Chains A and B, each alone.
Chain A
Amino acid sequence: SQTIHQWPATLVQPVGSPLSLECTVEGTSNPNLYWYRQAAGRGLQLLFYSVGIGQISSEVPQNLSASRPQDRQFILSSKKLLLSDSGFYLCAWSRDRGGPNYGYTFGSGTRLTVV
């Protein structure tokens, strides 16, 4: 069966510090991968998605970036965090194109507080 791992679960970082969040998927190949952010009491905001190694699409301009160095690994980074980067970060995967859309499976999330 497929599983998605996301870490760390909680992170407190000072303003201006770098960020690296990692997500890995097991039990499937060539997944589509997504990074979402959820601000407190708000909906899900799509940040990045990827359909393959090295292929990253950005949804919103900001000081975040994403990379996919391996098929089942997705990394969210920042060189300098802002207070507004605080939130609940979620990684998700879905099957690649060609089959029915079974929706996303989310990782357990990272709660980031920038202080």
Chain B
Amino acid sequence: QKEVEQNSGPLSVPEGAIASLNCTYSDRGSQSFFWYRQYSGKSPELIMFIYSNGDKEDGRFTAQLNKASQYVSLLIRDSQPSDSATYLCAVGPGGYNKLIFGAGTRLAVHP
């Protein structure tokens, strides 16, 4: 059974701080890794994807991947109240196929 694990939270951080969201996965053959943001009552939206070990930065977001440890994380710098949402980690093979989603971590950024 392929699994993706996330801490459900809530993760509470003050405005302006760095939020660190973590995800582990069980399938060593996984090749593609995604972070989705889901606001309450809305559908998930893709914010980052990463394929290779190391860091990938996009604005205030940094995705980090360590395939040896089967670990992927998302850092949000200068957190804003508008970042308050549930963040879903998703893992998949290299080409097309079904993604496996974690249950999500709820992030709360307080002023």
Contacts and interface: CB of A to CB of B under 8 A. Distances in A.
Interface residues of A, number: 26
Contacts, number: 60
Nearest to A103: B34
Grouping DSSP codes into helix (H, G, I), strand (E, B) and loop, the B interface class, with mixed when no group exceeds half, is loop
Interface string A50-89: 0100000000000000000000000000000000000000
B103 A103 contact: no
20 contacts: A34-B98, A43-B101, A43-B103, A44-B44, A44-B101, A49-B98, A90-B43, A90-B44, A97-B96, A97-B97, A98-B96, A100-B32, A100-B51, A101-B32, A101-B92, A101-B94, A101-B95, A102-B49, A103-B46, A107-B43
Interface of A: 32, 34, 42-44, 46, 49, 51, 90, 94-109, 111
